Structure formats: C-alpha cells, structure tokens
Amino acid sequence: MYPHLAEGGDGSLGEAGMDTARRMQQDGIAKPSHGSPFAEERPPRTERNGPSFDSARYTAPEGYEVNGPLMAEFSQLANEFGLNQQQGSRALDFYRRATEASEEHYARQLAGNTERLSRELPAEDLQMVRELINDPALTPAPMRDWVLRWGSQ
C-alpha cells in the first residue's frame, strides 16, 4: 500500500509508519505539532486561571465531612491537572453529586428487590430472617444497623 515505506530510496527496507515519522523528526525532516505524542516534553502549565487548588480553602457542603487522605490525593491531582480553586471545588461538587446519584440508584434498586422478595418469599421465611438479623449473637450491631437502614429505604 505504501511502497516508499516498504523499500527505502537506497534499497534498504523501510519502516512502519510510526517509526518513519519518528525517524523523520529525528533527522530534522519533519517537526511534530504541539499536540503530537512525538512532541518534546510539554512546557510546564502556567497558572493562567489563578492560584492552584488549596484543600485548606475548600469548604465542604453542610452535612459533609472532608476525608483527609482522599482530599490530599485530590489536591495532588488538582495541582497536576492545573486546576484553580474554583475548578477544584466544581470537580469535588460534581463527584459529590455523582456519588449521591449512585447511592439513590442503589436505594431504588434495593427497594425494588425488597418489594419483589416480599412478594416471592413466604411470610414465615421473612420472619425467620428478621429474627436472625435482630439476634445480637448472629448479627453484629453495625451490620444489623446497616441492613435495617438500607432495608427501610
């Protein structure tokens, strides 16, 4: 398909397309565009949009607590991506809304499964499950609380 790549002008075998492009750049025949994966190292990002994201200046919405280790990791990523304070806050807000939407979807799915199971399972089996859940010797309190909280959704 590309005979000039199959055999070089001097009779030598040509190279694959990416190898040819790299060699042309190394020989000074071609220069990569700025968005090219062959471009020299990208220049460091300048702070055009204000100062970098600072987790100490972030205020979590009412009812939410900041998780220190996760916020430190996010801060590193925000700075690596060149996010300023407003952009970092918007990213965190988006993540919070996405997490809430996921939890709401899970709660709806759980409610549907609960409804389906209550129709399909005999009443005596449901009563046995309730007794098992409420027996402290069989179900640890944190697990029981979680089951009851999500089961009531």
Q: What is the pLDDT of residues 2-16, one digit of tens each?
A: 445 445 555 555 555
> Is the pLDDT confidence value at 151 over 70?
no
Return the pLDDT at 84.
95
Residue 80 has pLDDT above 90, yes or no: yes
What's the pLDDT tens digit per position in 23-50? 766 777 766 666 666 555 555 555 456 7
* Chain CA centroid to CA 51, Å: 24
pLDDT digits (tens, 9 = 90+) for 50-72: 789 999 999 999 999 999 999 99
Predicted TM-score (pTM) of this structure: 0.50
Count of alpha carbons within 13 Å of 10, Cβ hemisphere only? 1
Q: Of 109 and 129, which is predicted with more confidence? A: 109
Predicted pLDDT of residue 16 = 58
Degrees, nearest 5: CA angle 62-63-66: 90
If 0-12 CB within 10 Å is exposed, 13-18 middle and 19+ buried, where does residue 110 land?
A: middle
CA distance 66 to 61: 10
> What's the rounded Cα separation, in Å, for the pair 85 and 78?
9
Radius of gyration of the chain from its Cα atoms, rounded to whole angstroms: 29
